[in-house]
């Protein structure tokens, strides 16, 4: 029997915490619309109390984007939760996501609270959030370095207070797959009431294990995976959603899970996020990198030409990488030009498109074949002139 795994996207919250990244409300809205098209179950739109800009972006997304849950982050305090609710109140499906740390190291040095105070704060936060919305997610920050017995007590108390989702973050990317899977299995068997709620994981990539840990957790019974497009996020980033989704799909024989993701929208989403955040995608990045479906050696090229599956475990069209041999040159029209730009993640208004198209025609007169890199240079120059 196939199990549905929910995809919680935090590109606009944890992803935006990538050093050097700052998105304005318009850019966030553009990404949120594309995430809805991609079919994620939850968009974490921001951290409303963090700044007026974040508040407004969450509010704009909550007001406009439909067919998806919109979440806002809040620490376990009433001011944060009230602010999150204010930003989310017009959402079709609002979720308040509240969190507090549960590891000894965080409780002692960061929160300066004892374990009983942490439980009290968690319960009060969930109850406050529940007074506004039916859908409340509770995260035990630094869960993977928390003591199991204590963590189970906190999660049990949060569920009894009304949490509908409990999230087990590997906040500092310290876990390893076998250990994390075992941790999830223990939580599932020890926490009373856990069968009534969604069990989520949120893995960071400090040791390059975020995707592996997320998949191990799913195999152990987790039902929601949190991550960001292109794996962006705090420090080394979050689990890359496109990798988690394509692993669950490609190896469905092993995981037996489905997601609601429209995989053909993956490439476009990835490009849009890269373009707007200014965080380029490494060429050898799995699933969406420039080389992910490129074959260099003669032996590989020969194999792929004879039968694609010799060296390709996914069909590039599945993730929205066009296989059409549409070569752009001086005879190409505006329609093909716009279409290719959309595939590369650019949505231009008519004025921008006209200007970019003129530049393209001028270049095409000098150069026989226009590459994606040429197109990117043209558009970047038009949209972000120095
Ligand atoms: O990494 C983390 O623990 C977080 C929480 C706020 C969920 O981002
Ligand atoms: Zn995080």
pLDDT single digits (tens) 256-271: 999 999 999 999 999 9
What digits encode the pLDDT tens for the residues 273-295?
999 999 999 999 999 998 999 88
Residue 204, annotated ligand binder? yes
Residue 169 forms beta bridges with which residues? Answer: 202
CA distance 377 to 245: 30
Residue 14, annotated ligand binder? yes
Token representation of residue 188: 């599932």
Which of 179, 181, 183 lies closest to 140, judged by CA? 183
Asked whether 227 lines ligand 1 (CB < 6 A), one says no
Asked whether 144 lines ligand 1 (CB < 6 A), one says no
- Tell me, what's the pLDDT at 385? 52
Residue with tokens 């004879």: 306
- Between residues 122 and 365, which one has the greater pLDDT? 122
Which of 202, 265, 243 lies closest to 15, judged by CA? 202
Output the CA angle 187-190-195, nearest 5 degrees: 75
Which residues have a Cβ under 8 Å from the Cβ of 380 and sit 6 or more positions away? none
Query: Could you give phi then psi for residue 94, rounded to 5 degrees?
Result: -80, 145
CA of 371 to the centre of ligand 1 (A): 40
Token representation of residue 49: 């109390």
- pLDDT band at residue 384, thresholds of 50, 70 and 90? low
DSSP-based three-state secondary structure for 90? coil
For the chain, give percent helix, strand, coil, nearest 5: 50, 15, 35
CA distances from 129 to 68, 189, 223 (A): 19, 27, 22
Residue 202, annotated ligand binder? yes
Q: CA 317 from chain center: how many Å?
A: 21
Which residues have a Cβ under 8 Å from the Cβ of 134 and sit 6 or more positions away? 164
Question: How many residues are listed for the chain in this entry?
Answer: 386
Which pairing describes strands 257-258 and 165-170: parallel, antiparallel, or unpaired?
unpaired
CA distance 268 to 345: 5
Asked whether 169 lines ligand 1 (CB < 6 A), one says yes
- Tell me, what's the pLDDT at 302? 83
Asked whether 171 lines ligand 1 (CB < 6 A), one says yes
- Tell me, what's the pLDDT at 111? 98
Considering 109-118, 303-312, 341-350, the range whose residues carry the highest mean pLDDT is 109-118
Asked whether 11 lines ligand 1 (CB < 6 A), one says no
Burial class of residue 220 (count of CB atoms within 10 Å of its CB; 0-12, 13-18, 19+): buried
Q: What is the enclosing helix (H) or strand (E) of 3? A: strand 3-4
- pLDDT band at residue 325, thresholds of 50, 70 and 90? very low
Q: What mean pLDDT do residues 24-38 have?
A: 97
Phi-psi region of 62 (alpha: psi -120 to 50; beta: other; left: phi over 0): alpha
Residue with tokens 């043209």: 378
Pocket of ligand 1, candidates 105, 138, 171: which has the most ligand atoms within 8 Å of its Cβ, to mutate? 171
Determine if the pTM surpasses 0.80.
yes
Residue 328 forms beta bridges with which residues? Answer: 370
Which of 123, 180, 74 lies closest to 115, judged by CA? 123
User: What is the rounded average pLDDT for all residues in the chain?
Assistant: 94
Nearest CA owner, ligand 1 atom 5: 141
Q: What is the enclosing helix (H) or strand (E) of 46? A: strand 42-46
Output the CA angle 183-184-185, nearest 5 degrees: 90
CA of 6 to the centre of ligand 2 (A): 17
Asked whether 141 lines ligand 1 (CB < 6 A), one says yes
Strands (DSSP E) found in 159-293:
165-170, 198-203, 224-227, 257-258
Residue with tokens 């409340």: 136
CA of 206 to the centre of ligand 1 (A): 14
Asked whether 14 lines ligand 1 (CB < 6 A), one says yes
DSSP-based three-state secondary structure for 321? coil
What digits encode the pLDDT tens for the residues 39-76?
999 999 999 999 999 999 999 999 999 999 999 999 99
DSSP-based three-state secondary structure for 197? coil
CA of 114 to the centre of ligand 1 (A): 20
């Amino acid at each position: 029997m196939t199990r549905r795994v929910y995809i919680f996207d935090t590109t606009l919250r944890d992803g935006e915490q990538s050093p050097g990244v700052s998105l304005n409300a318009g850019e966030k809205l553009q990404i949120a619309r594309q995430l809805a098209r991609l079919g994620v179950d939850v968009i974490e739109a921001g951290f409303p109390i963090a700044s007026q800009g974040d508040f407004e972006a969450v509010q704009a997304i909550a007001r406009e984007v439909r067919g998806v849950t919109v979440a806002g982050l809040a620490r376990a305090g009433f001011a944060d939760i009230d602010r999150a609710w204010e930003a989310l109140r017009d959402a079709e499906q609002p979720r308040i996501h509240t969190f507090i740390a549960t590891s000894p190291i965080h409780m002692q040095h960061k929160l300066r609270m004892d374990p009983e105070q942490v439980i009290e704060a968690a319960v009060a936060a969930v109850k406050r959030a529940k007074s506004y919305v039916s859908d409340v997610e509770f995260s035990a920050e630094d869960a993977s370095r928390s003591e199991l017995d204590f963590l189970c007590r906190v999660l049990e108390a949060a569920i009894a207070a009304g949490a509908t989702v409990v999230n087990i973050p590997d906040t500092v990317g310290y876990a390893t797959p076998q250990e994390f899977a075992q941790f999830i299995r223990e939580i599932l068997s020890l926490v009373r009431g856990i069968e009534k709620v969604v069990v989520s994981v949120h893995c960071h990539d400090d040791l390059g294990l975020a995707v592996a840990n997320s998949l191990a957790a799913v195999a152990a019974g987790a039902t929601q995976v949190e991550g960001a497009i292109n794996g962006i996020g705090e420090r080394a980033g979050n689990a890359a959603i496109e990798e988690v989704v394509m692993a669950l799909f490609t190896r469905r024989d092993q995981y037996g899970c489905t997601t609601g993701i429209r995989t053909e929208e993956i490439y476009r989403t990835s490009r849009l996020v890269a373009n707007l955040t200014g965080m380029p995608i490494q060429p050898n990045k799995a699933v969406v990198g420039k080389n992910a479906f490129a074959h260099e050696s003669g032996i590989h090229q020969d194999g792929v030409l004879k039968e694609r599956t010799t060296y390709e475990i996914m069909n590039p069209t599945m993730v929205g990488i066009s296989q059409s041999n549409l070569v752009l040159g001086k005879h190409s029209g505006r329609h093909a030009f716009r279409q290719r730009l959309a595939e590369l993640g650019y949505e231009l208004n008519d004025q921008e498109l006209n200007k970019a198209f003129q530049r393209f025609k001028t270049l095409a007169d000098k150069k026989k074949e226009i590459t994606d890199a040429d197109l990117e240079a043209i558009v970047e120059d038009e949209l972000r002139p120095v």
